[in-house]
Amino acid sequence: MSQDSPERPSVPLELPGPSLLQQKAPLFEQLQDCARRTTAPFHTPGHKAGQGMDASLVDAWGEAMLRADLPELPELDNLFAPSGVIAEAQVLAAQAFGAEQTWFLTNGSTAGILAAILATCGPGDAILLPRTVHCSVVSGLILSGARPVFVAPAYDALSGLVGGLAAADVAQVLEQHADIRAVMLVAPSYEGICGETGAIAHLCHGRGIPLLVDEAHGPHFGFHSDLPPRALSLGADLAVQSTHKVLSALTQAAMVHVRGELVDRDRLSQSLALVQSTSPNYLLLASLDLTRRQMATQGEQLMAQTLTLAWEARQRLSLLPGLWVVSLPDDLPGFTALDLTRLTVDVRGLGLSGFEADEWLCHHHGVIAELPSLTQLTFILSLGNRSADIDRLVSGLIELCEMAEGRNRIAPVKLPQFDDGVPEVACTPRQAFYAKQKVMGIEQAIGHAAAETVCPYPPGIPVLLPGEVVTVEAVAYLRQIQAQGGVISGCADETLATLRVLV
Ligand SMILES: Cc1ncc(COP(=O)(O)O)c(C=O)c1O
């Protein structure tokens, strides 16, 4: 299925009547009641409804917000043993997001991913994963001691984009490793690509093991028929969503959703308590409650508007010579759907790297992409964008094309770690984390096992993992990213002069 010229998204004429319950926001409403009360506060936080706060912050952010920055007062329930307004808000969220049970997270999808791994895998248990996991998954492997069985994801040589896992590859690896306890997928990818989640769920369930999906970039899925389906609706047992990345929740506010019996829900609750603060931020929690209400009552309409903006941007940008708005490749396993609210624009034809184009657009037009890479820029369009943003994006890119006229096209960039299979590993990430380590010049480190994660951020997909053997290609790729202005994170020496390796 090609989405080169996707059809104009359909706008629902009639909104389905949301249940009356979905129009409530129990957690937000209770928080506001508490914030309006005048009390003699002898509890945390220390600023006491803003009274003790630095005046600049009160001026800048307003008193109302500070009055709502409250702790777990009896009326406000307890995130780790919910029985009041949090429990009510989570039930409504589960209904709205197609789950049987939902947990609110105040430490992003990161917390959900850590807890999902801790709840399903113990030390030494095998978990099947694409090599393109986010670095939070690596943290989950270190914390749990789970043994990753990495599978190379699908790769589109034309665009350089990485897709999901092909079900045939997963089937083969499951046959070879009868001890795999769980499978985790990333769907969608940062660029909005979804793989073969439904077929992989079927394979997992045939073996009685859960399918966990990092759906950090897909909390809007399922709210419009032109968006890819939700992982849970395709058979996933658990999905983690960064509500803050794409919907209207505050930064760090996220959710984990579960269906079925393959994930032990008590163990998931226990694991979430291990990785989250005992002082969850109620502003974040209340923003999740309101986002749920917004999506349950207006989600389809809002997504129709976003899809229309994205469609218009795609049409206008595809007319610009030298730019390529990347589409879903035809008939490639591991590439089953594309979230059309993600625009990935390939700038190789302009003779620029994604990093150079990003800097120019930001400096000259205030257009800020989510993800610059060596060859592309990915823009997230969401319910917060307006047509003026699209006009600015398009005029910025028109001028970028004019500025770059006459340059030579940049050659394709090969991602060393993904299209030639998965790299050799010396030990698990946890063993590497606790092993004796030493620091070496990065060139001398080639052939040794890395002791740390080395990760261009964004997208946060590690090029080197703890325990993985350092290759010439990986070092060259990192150097190239660094030379173009990309940010490298995760490692002690971010200049990449040195690397920690295993002794
Ligand atoms: C694929 C993926 N998974 C998980 C995360 C972590 O999400 P959060 O920032 O909400 O903790 C990210 C963050 O960028 C991501 O891109």
Cβ–ligand 1 distance for 214 under 6 Å, the answer yes
pLDDT for the residue numbered 157? 86
Q: How far, in Å, CA of 155 to CA of 149, rounded?
A: 18
Every domain range in the chain assigned CATH 3.90.1150.10: 300-403
DSSP-H helix ranges across 366-471: 387-403, 429-434
Consecutive H or E run containing 324: strand 324-325
* 186 CB within 6 A, ligand 1: yes
Tell me how far apart the alpha carbons of residues 148 and 379 are, in angstroms, rounded to a whole number.
31
d(CA 351, CA 149): 38
Determine how many CB atoms are found less than 10 A away from the CB of residue 279.
Answer: 12
* DSSP summary character for residue 102: E
H or E element in which residue 247 lies: none
Which CATH entry fits the domain spanning 20-297: 3.40.640.10, 3.40.50.150, 3.50.50.60, 3.40.50.1820?
3.40.640.10
**How far, CA to CA in Å, does 291 sit from each of 41, 104, 168, 288, 310?**
29, 12, 37, 5, 21
Determine the residue of 103, 104, 107, 109 to mutate for testing ligand 1's pocket, defined as the one with the most ligand atoms within 8 A of the Cβ atom.
Answer: 109
User: How many Cα atoms sit within 13 Å of 197 on the Cβ side?
Assistant: 27
Return phi, psi of residue 306, to 5°.
Answer: -65, -45
CATH of region 429-502 = 3.90.100.10
Query: Could you give the CA distance from residue 491 to residue 456 in angstroms, rounded to a whole number?
Result: 10
Which residues, in sequence order, are CB contacts of 136 under 8 Å at separation 6+?
108, 109, 110, 113, 114, 460
User: Ligand 1, from 190, 217, 275: best to mutate by most atoms within 8 Å of Cβ?
Assistant: 217
**Which is it for the CA torsion 340, 131, 251, 344, positive or negative?**
negative
Torsion sign over Cα 277, 280, 283, 287:
positive
Q: Is 342 in the pocket of ligand 1 (CB under 6 A)?
A: no
CATH architecture of 300-403: Alpha-Beta Complex (3.90)
Between the CA of 134 and the centroid of ligand 1 the distance, in Å, is: 7
**pLDDT 10s per residue in the chain (503 long)?**
344 456 666 655 444 455 789 999 999 999 999 999 999 999 999 999 999 999 999 999 999 999 999 999 999 999 999 999 999 999 999 999 999 999 999 999 999 999 999 999 999 999 999 999 999 999 999 999 999 999 999 989 888 899 999 999 999 999 999 999 999 999 999 999 999 999 999 999 999 999 999 999 999 999 999 999 999 999 999 999 999 999 999 999 999 999 999 999 999 999 999 999 999 999 999 999 999 999 999 999 999 999 999 999 999 999 999 999 999 999 899 999 999 999 999 999 999 999 999 999 999 999 999 999 989 999 999 999 999 999 999 999 999 999 998 888 777 666 655 666 788 999 999 999 999 999 999 999 999 999 999 998 888 889 999 999 999 989 998 998 998 888 899 999 999 999 999 99
C-alpha angle 290/295/296, rounded to 5°? Answer: 95
With a 6 Å cutoff on the Cβ, whether 115 touches ligand 1 is no
Q: Return phi, psi of residue 398, to 5°.
A: -60, -45
Q: Where in 46-179 does DSSP place strands (E)?
A: 101-105, 126-130, 147-151, 155-156, 161-162
Q: Where in the chain is the domain with CATH 3.40.640.10?
A: 20-297
Q: Crossing angle for the helix pair 135-144 and 108-120, nearest 10 degrees?
A: 40
Closest listed residue to residue 377, CA positions, set 404, 352, 412:
352
Q: Is the CB of 134 under 6 A from ligand 1?
A: yes
Q: What is the pLDDT of residue 3?
A: 44
Q: Buried b vs exposed e over 376-404: b needs ≥16 C-beta within 10 Å? A: bbbbbbbbebeeeebeebbebbeebbeeb
Q: Do β-strands 238-241 and 211-214 pair in parallel, antiparallel, or remain unpaired?
A: parallel
**Ligand 1 centroid to residue 20 C-alpha, Å:** 33
- In ligand 1, the atom with minimum distance to the C-alpha of 242 is 10
Phi, psi of 32 (to 5 degrees): -65, -40
C-alpha 30 – ligand 1 centre gap (Å): 30
**Alpha helix stretches (DSSP H) within 238-281:** 243-246, 265-275
Q: Which of 104, 133, 136, 139 to mutate to test the pocket of ligand 1 (most atoms within 8 A of CB)?
A: 136
Residue ranges of the chain assigned to CATH 3.90.100.10: 429-502
Q: Which helix (H) or strand (E) holds 213?
A: strand 211-214
pLDDT computed for residue 10 by the predictor: 62
- Cis preceding-peptide flag for 9 (omega within 30 of 0): no
Q: For ligand 1, what atom is nearest to the CA of residue 133?
A: 1
Ligand 1 pocket, 254 CB below 6 A? yes
Q: Sign of the CA dihedral 388, 390, 391, 396?
A: positive
